[in-house]
Chain A
């Protein structure tokens, strides 16, 4: 940076960002404008990208633009192909953006706006973005290898196997929790159910169009599909207001869970082109469009954030999920700040497309910064609601009471005033029967988005905006459900293949059926338990998902740290070792609390014991007593699962320490897993 103009510009960005952050942190007024969050976030990302990512790229990784990438050396015109970096950025962002950064910040808003905002920013620029970029760099230098392969190469069989088990576990928990979000959004809502069901025939139609009518014409098929999706949202309104139709689509949670499970199995065994691929195209279009629309609406409108900076629930008594600020804020935000799942994509499709390795900071670090910004917007959407309304939507009936008056009184008693009438008016505006106890995060995000869109683009269409937002979340949740089931199935086939060889053949149909059935049964079980749980289910599953996700991130950072140390960059290894240490502290503390806490709200075994005691004493109502045995079993299972996650984290970390120690003592030759230097021929 020689030019004084540039220096001044960066100083200005840094000062602006610091003032916006200071304004957010020190604000003690009734409300604060959302523009502060947007400005603070953008400045933080810009400064971090220019200086931290730039420093890592130049000093630590010494990225070399003259080195030919796998895309160039192994070009096959299909998955390996040098591609313009903006286009790779688009692909990569579309692949990493999912429902996690929308749901996580929405739930974390129970602590107030400040903790969530700070961790979304700090966690992303120091942890998540660094992880994505480093994993991408390692994969690019190793012919586009996957995280699992790199774990085996760098750590050996123990690390590799642990990575495989963790991936399988995270897929299953992830699908269950996302399925639960969709089911909760559709429960007793004819409009939502109709719209979400309609996405299936629309996807099938687009699939047939793309295969048989105009093969591979993705743009026109997607536009057709998106048009039909918007039409289905409008048609849902008609269903909602037409007696007969409304009753037909007014379904309870158990029925909907059955549908989602059946759908998941059918989608997993159907050919990819028929359902998964077209759904993926549609969800990408809808997702990018809606995220852009939300950014424009927040920019145009700069709504007031009404949630306080901190709420009383930082003490761990929150109604949405139990547990104190540390460690559960970090577990809940999960993918908005650091997402282990991204490491799979950063070491999957993307590194095979990079034309130059110097594109890695922009694509790896930049995409994650944008993803974190999506998280900030979701947090804003949750915090623009009146806090009373936010808690009324997100608190389960088992916690605040099933009857609207009781629930409103409980929530008002916490200092967040809300009335049953106010909620009734809101539900009517949104085209829903009720908005009380609509847990899962999707309905409250949809209400937040609808009120932002409504004020920016006209409030006559609130119900349409609400259901558009529900459709938007449902469509890419169902895509993740299909894709995740398939990934889990491949891993399952890998595992089964070790037991009996033919089961490992990916194309042998009986093996496909069996492994799909096992995977769907596994997530279907957690989904079903979540639906019958009177406390909403999400309060159990989301922390479990968060722990699993952060565990996968810890594995990715472990592999990267081992590579940094073994390639002679010990003095810089802290760039991944520091976030790794933080993740290990967070996941270990959270897991230990989940296992050993004596508080039935936090600890799995304590909850099981508490419920068993109540059941034995006959203190439960008949409908609760009927599901209690299943809930008790499930709480114990979740406890053991958490213990498994904890053991896996420590196995991998200790294995990494062992490998690094042996390397540093010279007991192990520096194994060169990097592909040899070849000079690029690209201009």
Chain B
């Protein structure tokens, strides 16, 4: 069966995930695989916790 063209739905979904940070772990894991295949990437939970710690170590919000 030929795949139904849902390109724009797919694109929208990916954009929503990217804007909200939902796909942060996947992006990190992809980066680790391609750039540092020799080392073990962090698991989801460790990544999430350390990433939040880093994000909020500087000004993230304005008045």
Residues of A in contact with B (beta carbons under 8 Å apart): 75-79, 81, 83-84, 86-87, 90-91, 95-100, 146, 174, 178, 210-212, 215-219, 222, 271-273, 276-277, 280-281, 284-285, 334-335, 339, 341-342, 344-345, 348-349, 476, 479-480, 483-484, 486-487, 490, 506, 545, 549
Are B59 and A218 neighbours in the complex by a CB distance under 8 Å? no
Residues B37-63 near A (CB distance < 8 A): 44-45, 47-49, 51-63
Residues B9-27 near A (CB distance < 8 A): 15-22, 24-25, 27
A349 to B35, CA, bound (A): 22
Residue of A nearest to B44 (CB): A215
Are B63 and A218 neighbours in the complex by a CB distance under 8 Å? no
Residue of B nearest to A174 (CB): B63
Of A76, A174, A476, the residue contacting B31 (CB under 8 A) is A76
Given contacts A76-B31, A77-B27, A277-B55, whether A335 and B45 have CB atoms under 8 Å apart is no
Mostly, the B contact residues are: helix
Are A81 and B61 neighbours in the complex by a CB distance under 8 Å? no
Which residues of B are found within 8 Å of A219, using beta-carbon distances? Answer: 16-17, 20, 22
A168 to B57, CA, bound (A): 15
Are A95 and B61 neighbours in the complex by a CB distance under 8 Å? yes
Task: List 30 A-B pairs, Cβ < 8 Å.
Answer: A79-B54, A81-B27, A81-B31, A83-B18, A84-B18, A87-B19, A95-B60, A98-B63, A99-B63, A146-B58, A210-B48, A211-B48, A215-B25, A216-B25, A216-B44, A216-B48, A219-B17, A219-B22, A271-B49, A272-B53, A273-B48, A273-B49, A277-B52, A339-B62, A339-B63, A345-B59, A348-B58, A349-B58, A486-B57, A487-B58
Residue of B nearest to A284 (CB): B20
Indicate the size class of the contact surface on chain B: 20 to 34
Are B24 and A216 neighbours in the complex by a CB distance under 8 Å? yes
Which residues of A are found within 8 Å of B57, using beta-carbon distances? Answer: 486, 490, 506
A135 to B30, CA, bound (A): 31
Which residues of A are found within 8 Å of B45, using beta-carbon distances? Answer: 211-212, 215-216
Q: A215-B25, A276-B52, A285-B20 provided; 8 other pairs, C-beta below 8 A?
A: A81-B27, A90-B19, A95-B61, A174-B63, A277-B55, A281-B21, A339-B63, A545-B63
Residue of A nearest to B31 (CB): A77
A421 to B31, CA, bound (A): 65
Nearest 8 interchain pairs by C-beta: A77-B31, A100-B63, A344-B59, A90-B19, A341-B62, A215-B45, A215-B44, A216-B48
What is the CB-to-nearest-CB distance from B44 to chain A, in angstroms, rounded to a whole number? 4
Which residues of B are found within 8 Å of A349, using beta-carbon distances? Answer: 55, 58, 60
Are A487 and B59 neighbours in the complex by a CB distance under 8 Å? yes
Mostly, the A contact residues are: helix
A348 to B3, CA, bound (A): 42
Which residues of B are found within 8 Å of A281, using beta-carbon distances? Answer: 20-21
Are A483 and B61 neighbours in the complex by a CB distance under 8 Å? yes
Of A77, A99, A277, A339, the residue contacting B28 (CB under 8 A) is A77
Which residues of B are found within 8 Å of A271, using beta-carbon distances? Answer: 49, 53
Are B61 and A479 neighbours in the complex by a CB distance under 8 Å? yes
Which residues of A are found within 8 Å of B30, using beta-carbon distances? Answer: 77
A403 to B62, CA, bound (A): 37
Given contacts A83-B18, A211-B49, whether A78 and B62 have CB atoms under 8 Å apart is no
A574 to B47, CA, bound (A): 45
Are B62 and A100 neighbours in the complex by a CB distance under 8 Å? yes
A222 to B22, CA, bound (A): 10
Which residues of A are found within 8 Å of B19, using beta-carbon distances? Answer: 87, 90-91
What is the CB-to-nearest-CB distance from A373 to chain B, in angstroms, rounded to a whole number? 16
Are A77 and B35 neighbours in the complex by a CB distance under 8 Å? yes
What is the CB-to-nearest-CB distance from A631 to chain B, in angstroms, rounded to a whole number? 25
Of B24, B48, B52, B60, the residue contacting A348 (CB under 8 A) is B60
What is the CB-to-nearest-CB distance from B58 to chain A, in angstroms, rounded to a whole number? 5
Are A98 and B62 neighbours in the complex by a CB distance under 8 Å? yes
Are B61 and A280 neighbours in the complex by a CB distance under 8 Å? yes
Of B22, B25, B52, B58, the residue contacting A273 (CB under 8 A) is B52
Are A276 and B22 neighbours in the complex by a CB distance under 8 Å? no
Given contacts A95-B62, A97-B62, A480-B62, whether A218 and B18 have CB atoms under 8 Å apart is no
Residue of B nearest to A479 (CB): B61
Which residues of B are found within 8 Å of A284, using beta-carbon distances? Answer: 20
Given contacts A78-B54, A212-B45, A272-B56, whether A222 and B20 have CB atoms under 8 Å apart is yes
Which residues of B are found within 8 Å of A217, using beta-carbon distances? Answer: 22
What is the CB-to-nearest-CB distance from B28 to chain A, in angstroms, rounded to a whole number? 5
Residue of A nearest to B58 (CB): A348
Are B52 and A484 neighbours in the complex by a CB distance under 8 Å? no
Are A78 and B28 neighbours in the complex by a CB distance under 8 Å? yes
A284 to B60, CA, bound (A): 12
Given contacts A98-B62, A174-B63, whether A277 and B56 have CB atoms under 8 Å apart is yes
Which residues of A are found within 8 Å of B17, using beta-carbon distances? Answer: 219
Which residues of B are found within 8 Å of A285, using beta-carbon distances? Answer: 20
What is the CB-to-nearest-CB distance from A417 to chain B, in angstroms, rounded to a whole number? 34
Given contacts A86-B15, A222-B20, whether A216 and B62 have CB atoms under 8 Å apart is no
What is the CB-to-nearest-CB distance from A543 to chain B, in angstroms, rounded to a whole number? 14
Of B22, B27, B44, B61, the residue contacting A218 (CB under 8 A) is B22
Are B62 and A342 neighbours in the complex by a CB distance under 8 Å? yes
Which residues of A are found within 8 Å of B54, using beta-carbon distances? Answer: 78-79
What is the CB-to-nearest-CB distance from B49 to chain A, in angstroms, rounded to a whole number? 5
Are B18 and A280 neighbours in the complex by a CB distance under 8 Å? no
Residue of B nearest to A83 (CB): B18
Which residues of A are found within 8 Å of B24, using beta-carbon distances? Answer: 216, 218
Are B31 and A486 neighbours in the complex by a CB distance under 8 Å? no
Given contacts A219-B16, A273-B49, whether A341 and B63 have CB atoms under 8 Å apart is yes
